Amino acid sequence: GAGVSQTPSNKVTEKGKYVELRCDPISGHTALYWYRQSLGQGPEFLIYFQGTGAADDSGLPNDRFFAVRPEGSVSTLKIQRTERGDSAVYLCASSLTGPWSNTGELFFGEGSRLTVL
Amino acid sequence: DAKTTQPPSMDCAEGRAANLPCNHSTISGNEYVYWYRQIHSQGPQYIIHGLKNNETNEMASLIITEDRKSSTLILPHATLRDTAVYYCIVVSNNAGNMLTFGGGTRLMVKP
């Protein structure tokens, strides 16, 4: 399909383990975003890439969280030493351009649900 | 970015218009009003956005007051598939498309 693809759709892990979540953006989209959504709340911004570089990582909660986008397309969100509080749906989005264009439309994937036991 | 205030939940009868309000009294001149919705177990979906003028597309209409301190999203003929959480977001034109989601309005369309 032509949409944003996220894998895995579900991930169950144990406390202390390492986790990688993958995002395939829409082809040609230069901007890529990671959000985290806890149950009953709106999505919370984590990090934004423009091309290969992280233009804004102010939303990453601590140094256990890291994201890369080495070739300016696929991105991987990496979580070290997972904690139960990391359990959430991790959403990826992409947009055609960035920084700002007034089309402003972000295309979201369906998310990766992470459960830390 | 300006903060928005939305009612936590609303009901609407199927086939009737759903009018979802949003207050953004601290909006500044370069900030756009965006609406997204999130159907259960899916990612958010863009609906519409505007700056000053009212806007309409195939999904909805957006009415922005003249002072821009509030807006209303209108779904003209709500269907059961419109049941979702609707987010009103204000974004400045130098924020790199960084959307900040609040709690949104949970719209329940009832038969």
Alpha carbons A42 and A76: distance in angstroms, whole number = 22
Q: In what order do the strands lie in the sheet with A5-7?
A: A5-7, A19-24, A75-79, A65-68
Residue A13 has which token pair? 């892990």
Burial class (CB in 10 A: 0-12, 13-18, 19+), A84: exposed
B21 and B7 in contact (C-beta within 8 Å)? yes
B103 CB neighbours in chain A (<8 A) are 41-42
For residue B43, what is the nearest residue in chain A, using CA coordinates? Answer: A110
| Tens digit of each residue's pLDDT, chain A (117 residues) | 589 999 999 999 999 999 999 999 999 898 899 999 999 999 999 999 988 998 889 999 999 999 999 999 999 999 999 999 999 999 999 988 754 555 568 899 999 999 999
Cα dihedral B84, B88, B92, B95, rounded to 10, equals: -30
Alpha carbons B55 and A11: distance in angstroms, whole number = 40
Residues A110, B43: C-beta atoms closer than 8 Å: yes
